[in-house]
Every structure is written in structure tokens, then in C-alpha cells.
Amino acid sequence: MKIQLTLCAVALALLGTSAGYGQDDANQDVNWAYASFFGTGWYKISDTREVFVIRAAPRWTIGEAGFDDEGKRTFDYTLRVPVTLGLARFDFDDIPGIVDPDNVSTLSVGFSADINIPVTERFSLRPIAEIGYGAILGESARAWTWRTELRSRYRFEVGKLDWAFLAGIGVTGFEPNEGDSDDFSYASLATEVAQPIRWLSTQDRQTMLYWHLGYMDFIDEIEFSSVTSRDYSVANYWQFGLAIGRREAPIKIWFLEFDRLGLGYKYSDTGRLRGISFVFRSIYDL
């Protein structure tokens, strides 16, 4: 059993509560289910909404996916318990204000499980299921959330480059204690490339440059309410990212482990969704 704890600084515009905005003012745009899609970083919706979230996700991985010496297929199973705190503000010029308990506006706890299934030496599948519960602190709004997804990955080598083509399809939803429930479907395509960095590598440790390009399509357009009376819809977004990591071992910082460290940028065709995100691992393993 391998245990990893990943601590993420996340900014999700769609979780949207800010200091001074109540549930009615936000037009009930707090949709906990949407948090799974945008990962770690900072996001903004049409210059009207930005919210910051800190997320700690302990993960336990059991087994190792692949094929043994007899050609028998083996699997790995990953369990996660994400705990997410939404911050009303995030200002590096006011560090005490960031850690002030009064700055915490939302809280959610979840549980997810997935299995990595090697179909062939190069092609694998990963079904995922997740459930969570969230609340706006100081208000009556609560919501159960759920998500199910199927991801696939095909890996191959071209020269010294390691390539991977990825695809995914899923559905997510939420069941609030007040108001109507909702859900939407999505599909994604992406490619990832890993390239050795010679001048940062040694004989015992190879440093890699990772980059990815991906596209996410919301089969049902997502509508976000701003602090104004206008609603904004997002049908898709592109993402590009760069990261550095080690081929055979994770990066360790204190008790935290990361497969890679880098930054990504997400941008919708309409320009209404954009953001800078952190990259800690492959899209396939998120």
C-alpha cells in the first residue's frame, strides 16, 4: 500500500462565495460538484467572480497496475478523501488575513475511489466514482455531490519522447438541501509528452519536462451566476501545462509527494473562463 498526501492551493470561480455575498446575492451559484473539474489554481468568470480554495486530498494506492511475469493482469486501486476550504480572499500582501478563520467561507469533504485497469501494455482504463458533501459556512446552504467518470490512456514512445493520448467521459451532479438538483455531462481529449532534461539529470536520476494540451467539452453548457444579474455559460475550455518531475520517483517536500510540479493555463473559446492552475500529476491520475 502506498500512501500519499497532496496539499493543493486551489482557486475555483465556480464555488463562488465572497465575503459580503449571501446565498440570494450569488443566485445560488455555489455548485460543489463543479470543483472537481478545474483542479488547482486561480480562475475568473467574465471578470466578475473569483474565489480561492485550499484542498488537501490524502490518497491511498493499493497494488500496482500491469502484467506479471506470467502475463497475468494486475490492478491498482486508489482511495482519496479530499477536504476543501473555500477562502473569501487570497492576498499575498495580507498573509494573516489568508489564514484568519473568518476568511474561510466554504467547506466540503468527499470520498473517491478508482481502479487502474491495464487492457494491454500500452492501453489502460480508469473508472472513477466520487461522492461529497459541502456547505457555505454561516449559512443554511448544503449540498451532496457526486461524480462518475471513465478515463483512458494510450502510451507510446517516439525517440526519447514518451507520448500519451488520453480521453474521458463522465457526468457529475449535486443535490442541495434547498432548490433543485442538477447534473451535466462532459467529455475530454488530451495529449501528454515527457522529455528528458539532460542538464538536470544524473546517471541515477532522470529529470523530465512534462507538457500537456487538452480540450474539455461540456455536453450540457454550464451556467454561472455573477454578482450582477447576468448569467454566463461555458461550453468548453482548452488547457496547456508545463511541469518538471522525475521519471522513477516522486518529488518530496516534507510529508508531501508530487509526481511533478508545474503550471497550467485554462481558457474557454468565449473567453469567459480563464485561469492559471497548478500541475501535480498526469491528467489520467487526477
Long-range contacts of 177-185 (CB under 8 A, 24+ apart): 177/140, 177/141, 177/142, 177/143, 178/28, 178/140, 178/141, 178/142, 179/28, 182/31, 183/33, 184/218, 184/219, 184/220, 184/222, 185/218, 185/219, 185/220
Distance (Å, whole) CA 209 – CA 206: 10
* Res 5: pLDDT: 46
Phi, psi of 99 (to 5 degrees): -90, 0
Q: In 10 A of CB 243, how many CB atoms? A: 24
pTM of the model: 0.80
* Res 157: pLDDT: 95
* Res 156: pLDDT: 96
Distance (Å, whole) CA 165 – CA 28: 37
**Beta strand 161-176 pairing with 142-158:** antiparallel
Backbone conformation region of residue 95, classed left if phi is above 0, alpha if psi is from -120 to 50, else beta: alpha
* Res 13: pLDDT: 36
Contact 237, 268 (CB under 8 A): yes
Contact 196, 217 (CB under 8 A): no
Averaged over successive runs of 10 residues, the pLDDT of the chain (286 residues) comes to 44 38 39 54 61 77 91 94 76 70 80 96 96 83 89 95 96 84 89 92 86 90 52 78 89 84 85 76 87
Phi, psi of 96 (to 5 degrees): -60, -35
* Res 232: pLDDT: 58
92 pairs with which residues across the strands?
none
